[in-house]
Amino acid sequence: MGEAERGESAPRARISFWCSNGHETQPSFAHDAQVPDIWDCPRCGFPAGQDKDSPPDPPRTEPYKTHLAYVRERRSDEDGEAILAEALAKLRGEI
């Protein structure tokens, strides 16, 4: 918690990333944070890079999936059923 409170003494830098659709996103990073080479474009989900003129290639085969969808896909069917059962229980107000 203390880290966040000291926001002013830990300046953040905005770094621009561009995806192949030309979307610019500017996440901010703490100065001592490691800036990733690739950032997911929040608008289309394509990978975005810091070089505006040569953004990373978009994923070719699969449409964009949310992280959650990706995680769900990797779960076993058994886990999937448990998640479904839990979701249904929530719908019924049992949880």
Site of interaction with Zn ion (CB under 5 A): 19, 21, 23, 41, 43-44, 46
55 is in an annotated binding site: no
* CB closer to Zn ion, 9 vs 66: 66
Output the smallest distance, CB 84 to Zn ion, in A: 32
For 22, residues 6+ apart whose C-beta sits below 8 A from its C-beta are none
* CB closer to Zn ion, 16 vs 21: 21
For Cα atoms 64, 56, 15, give the angle at the middle one, nearest 5 degrees.
100
What tokens appear for 73 in the block? 């896909």
44 is in an annotated binding site: yes
